[in-house]
Copies of this chain bind each other. A is one copy, B any other.
Amino acid sequence: MSSVVAINQRARSLEQKALRRRAVLQVAETYLLEVGYEAFSMSKLAKKIGLAKGTLYLYFQTREELFLTLYDQSLIRWSQTFIDELSDSMTSKAYSQNLFSTASADGTFVPLLIRLEHMIEHNVAIPRLISSKQVFINQVEVLAEVTSNSLRLSKAQAIEVVKTMGVLLIGATQGDQGPSLDHEELPEDVQNLIVSFSSEPLFVKNAVRIIEGIRAEAGSNI
């Protein structure tokens, strides 16, 4: 009656199946970290786990549903670590730096976030998509609560901040997603361009501008 499922044993009970599903996700996340989104293949994932490809599709309807699940997990995980680092009455700069560094530190969160809408959400069944959105709504709520304390903003303002930070994070980290040009010989102007799109300062500077903008918009919220 053990709940452990050895790799060659079948998962029969609901509990064992949940366990196997989690094991798949765990290997998938490691593998994703290794090779990145584009090179991620279901066949290779199956081999890595020691299951047949078809078996993966018993646990996830599509490749994208697997990614969506990893995204939901990573959102919750990042959200928690971010909150843990927050304190009451922070400057908007410290808040933003915190947000950026915790998000970057999670190797799964940002890469999946930036592919969410135009890749992952296509090819996922609508009910699954809805449940993911509800996870998101819930996290916004949780984050807004602490943000409100941390930045001394009204709840409505804090919600606005949280939603906008997501948008900015997607835009600002875009530059980190290009091919590595570290050891390439680049003309000086291109070098300078890359430096000027360095994601951390880009995010922080604009996050501060936005937060202070929201703060300045006093009572009326339009």
Contact = CB atoms under 8 A, between A and B. Distances in A.
A197 B164 contact: no
Chain A residues touching B, range? 35 or more
A130 B208 CA distance: 32
A218 interface: no
A202 B210 CA distance: 12
A11 interface: no
What is the count of identical protomers in the complex? 2
B164 A118 contact: no
A167 B178 contact: no
Given A137-B190, A184-B126, A187-B130, A171 B167 contact: yes
A187 B126 CA distance: 12
A209 B213 contact: yes
Contacts of A193: 133, 136-137
Interface of A: 37-38, 111, 114-119, 121-122, 126, 129-130, 133-134, 136-137, 163-164, 166-172, 174-179, 181, 184, 186-187, 189-190, 193, 196-197, 202, 206, 208-210, 212-214
